């Protein structure tokens, strides 16, 4: 079948794509920016279209002979307060784009909803369901709660809490019950309902075999990791305090933390159905899903991460607009050294950040990350998805990767920290084995200029030591 896959740079779609290709389907991926799309597999059955469903001018680009359309666009981590309005616009434009195609089934991954009480996030998901269901094209809606897998938001947030905090003083929503599901089972359901006519215009809740409170999930995660953890639940933590608690302890943004807290106050337990039996899906329990996730992490086989899909101003506008580093009106710190072993130095550059650190003065980078986090920025908490490899579009601590070309020996990063201006950091090793390290800062007004001179002594210390370590 010829399949349309939207949200192709997102966590779920990047996991679904290889499965569809392995099953022999032809897949058309929709991405907003081709320069940050690096599919986990290559195939002649794969094509990529640059389409922004917030832009009506892009809607005529879809091929007519599509048969199945996956709608996997979500804006939960968007910084905009009106993300629900953006989701409505995307859904409406998605439907318009399908009008001149032969699509005979839409598949939408939504969230398990509680009819009596809905968070803004879940309410938005339900509104999208209604919009898509208003189309004459049949739709199958799958509703999932907590998705557990390497790189998933739920998994990484639980991991942050458990591994960082021996003792937790937590809000009362940790008593809320949910029904977590392994990412592998989510993919089983998404693929299983394709073309299945008796699922058309129906909605199914999908979850694993365990119904757990968030406290139980944390404690069981700790047990699997061989950690002893104590959790005290107090009633005085308001949603705002809870959001800040998640924001400062985990790698989530404040916008996402707020949406998560409001969602976590609502129980997300699946309504009974027989879809798993109908599709012959063996449900994976919570403990096994955690172990499977760590197997992937330890093997450096994390295909996608929610951090890379987090919305930012850079991702909204497109990475291509930032690849050309400006020259005029900028401050630059340029350093060069010859390297003895080009390959070894490139490997160091490709491993920079995350657990490896920044080779020199890493504690100063971490201090800058804490300052950024206190100002509402991303801080250094995002780390990196893979310890050895990196691609354009991925998050790397408080940077975004713009270019990662080993053949050219070039890595270009763009700062996503809170700054009175814009900053780039570039590493390049030419064929003559000359390593050039360039930090570029384009100040915004007087404050930006004062900032550059204030941090200049630290830059001299950090950048000089960093290039020497890389060149060794």
Lowest mean pLDDT among 148-152, 213-217, 277-281, 375-379: 375-379
Identify the pLDDT of residue 39: 76
Confidence of residue 188 (pLDDT cuts 50, 70, 90): very high
- In contact, 118 and 264? CB cutoff 8 Å: no
Alpha-carbon span 455 to 416, nearest angstrom: 17
Contacts of 321 (CB under 8 A, 6+ apart): none
Confidence of residue 8 (pLDDT cuts 50, 70, 90): confident
Q: For the chain, what are the domain ranges?
A: 327-471
pLDDT digit string (tens) for 50-101? Answer: 888 877 776 667 888 999 999 998 765 444 456 667 788 888 888 888 888 8
314 vs 382: which has the higher pLDDT = 382
Statement: residue 384 has pLDDT above 90: no
Lowest mean pLDDT among 184-188, 271-275, 322-326, 337-341: 322-326
pLDDT digit string (tens) for 39-51? Answer: 777 788 898 888 8
Identify the pLDDT of residue 114: 63
Lowest mean pLDDT among 140-154, 280-294, 368-382: 368-382
Identify the pLDDT of residue 19: 93
Identify the pLDDT of residue 285: 94
Question: Per-residue pLDDT averaged across 382-395, rounded?
Answer: 79
Question: Per-residue pLDDT averaged across 207-221, rounded?
Answer: 92
Alpha-carbon span 72 to 11, nearest angstrom: 9
Lowest mean pLDDT among 155-164, 219-228, 351-360, 406-415: 155-164
φ/ψ of 232, rounded to 5, equals -110, 130
| Concatenated DSSP letters of 153-170 | HHHHHHHHHHHH-SEEEE
Q: Per DSSP, which regions of 278-433 are E strands?
A: 331-338, 395-396, 399-405, 410-415, 421-429
CATH architecture of the domain with residue range 327-471: 2-Layer Sandwich (3.30)
Statement: residue 312 has pLDDT above 60: no
Identify the pLDDT of residue 240: 73
Identify the pLDDT of residue 118: 59
Question: Per-residue pLDDT averaged across 411-433, rounded?
Answer: 89
Statement: residue 348 has pLDDT above 90: yes
Place of tokens 């499965």: 19
- In contact, 290 and 158? CB cutoff 8 Å: no
Identify the pLDDT of residue 80: 47
Report which secondary-structure segment, H or E, holds 218. Answer: helix 214-224
Lowest mean pLDDT among 238-247, 273-282, 363-372, 426-435: 238-247
- When the pLDDT of each residue in the chain is averaged and rounded to a whole number, the result is 83
Exposure b/e, 335-349, CB count within 10 A at least 16 = b: bebebeebeebbebb
User: Could you say which DSSP state residue 359 is in?
Assistant: S
The pTM of the full predicted model, rounded to 2 decimals, is 0.72
Contacts of 187 (CB under 8 A, 6+ apart): 15, 16, 19
309 vs 223: which has the higher pLDDT = 223
In this structure, the number of other CB atoms found within 10 A of the CB of residue 48 comes to: 15
Q: What are the distances in angstroms from CA 270 to CA 139, 211, 422?
A: 19, 9, 46
φ/ψ of 242, rounded to 5, equals -60, -40
Give SS3 for 211.
coil
How far out from the chain centre does Cα 62 lie?
Answer: 25
Side-chain-side CA neighbours of 48 within 13 Å: the count stands at 17
Identify the pLDDT of residue 417: 85
- Of 409, 390, 277, 404, whose CA–CA distance to 341 is shortest? 409
Report which secondary-structure segment, H or E, holds 107. Answer: strand 105-111
Question: Per-residue pLDDT averaged across 333-357, rounded?
Answer: 91
Report which secondary-structure segment, H or E, holds 255. Answer: helix 254-264
Identify the pLDDT of residue 156: 80
Lowest mean pLDDT among 178-187, 275-284, 295-304, 398-407: 295-304
Statement: residue 25 has pLDDT above 90: yes
User: Could you say which DSSP state residue 194 is in?
Assistant: T
Identify the pLDDT of residue 311: 43
- What pairs with residue 107 in β-bridges? 70, 140
Identify the pLDDT of residue 5: 93
* Termini Cα distance of the chain: 52
């Amino acid at each position: 079948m010829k399949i349309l896959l939207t949200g192709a740079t997102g966590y779920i779609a990047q996991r679904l794509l290889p499965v569809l290709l392995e099953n022999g389907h032809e897949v058309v991926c929709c991405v907003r920016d081709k320069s940050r799309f690096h599919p986990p597999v290559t195939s002649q059955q794969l094509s990529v279209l640059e389409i922004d469903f917030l832009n009506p001018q892009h809607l005529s680009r879809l091929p007519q002979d599509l048969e199945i359309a996956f709608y996997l666009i979500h804006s939960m981590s968007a910084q905009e307060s009106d993300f629900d309005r953006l989701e409505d616009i995307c859904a409406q434009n998605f439907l318009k784009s399908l009008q001149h195609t032969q699509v005979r089934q839409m598949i939408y991954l939504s969230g398990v909803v509680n009819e009596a009480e809905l968070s803004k996030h879940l309410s938005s998901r339900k509104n999208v369901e209604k919009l898509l269901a208003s189309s004459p094209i049949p739709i199958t809606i799958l509703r999932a709660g907590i998705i557990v897998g390497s790189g998933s938001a739920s998994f990484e947030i639980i991991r942050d809490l458990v591994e960082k905090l021996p003792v937790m003083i937590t809000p009362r929503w940790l008593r809320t019950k949910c029904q977590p599901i392994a990412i592998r089972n989510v993919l089983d359901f998404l693929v299983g309902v394709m073309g299945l006519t008796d699922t058309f215009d129906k909605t199914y809740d999908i979850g694993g075999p365990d119904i757990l409170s968030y406290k139980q999930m944390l404690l069981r995660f700790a047990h699997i990791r061989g950690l002893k953890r104590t959790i005290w639940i107090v009633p005085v933590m308001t949603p705002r305090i809870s959001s800040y608690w998640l924001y400062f302890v985990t790698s989530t943004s404040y916008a996402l933390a707020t949406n998560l807290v409001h969602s976590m106050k609502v129980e997300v337990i699946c309504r009974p159905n027989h879809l798993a039996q109908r599709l012959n899906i063996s449900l994976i329990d919570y403990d096994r899903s955690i172990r499977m996730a760590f197997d992937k992490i330890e093997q450096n086989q994390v295909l996608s991460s929610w951090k890379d899909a987090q919305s930012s101003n850079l991702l909204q506008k497109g990475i291509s607009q930032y690849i050309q580093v400006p020259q005029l009106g900028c401050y630059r710190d340029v350093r060069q050294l010859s390297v003895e072993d080009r390959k070894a130095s490139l490997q160091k550059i490709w491993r920079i950040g995350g657990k490896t650190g920044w080779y020199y003065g890493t504690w100063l980078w971490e201090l800058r990350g804490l300052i950024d986090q206190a100002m509402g920025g991303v801080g250094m908490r995002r780390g990196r998805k893979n310890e050895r490899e990196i691609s354009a579009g991925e998050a790397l601590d408080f940077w975004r990767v713009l270019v990662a070309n080993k053949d050219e020996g070039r890595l270009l990063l763009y700062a996503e920290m809170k700054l009175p201006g814009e900053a780039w950091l570039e590493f390049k090793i030419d064929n003559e084995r000359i390593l050039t390290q360039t930090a570029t800062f384009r100040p915004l007004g007087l404050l930006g200029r004062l900032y550059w001179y204030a941090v200049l002594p630290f830059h001299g210390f950090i950048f000089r030591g960093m290039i020497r370590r890389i060149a060794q």
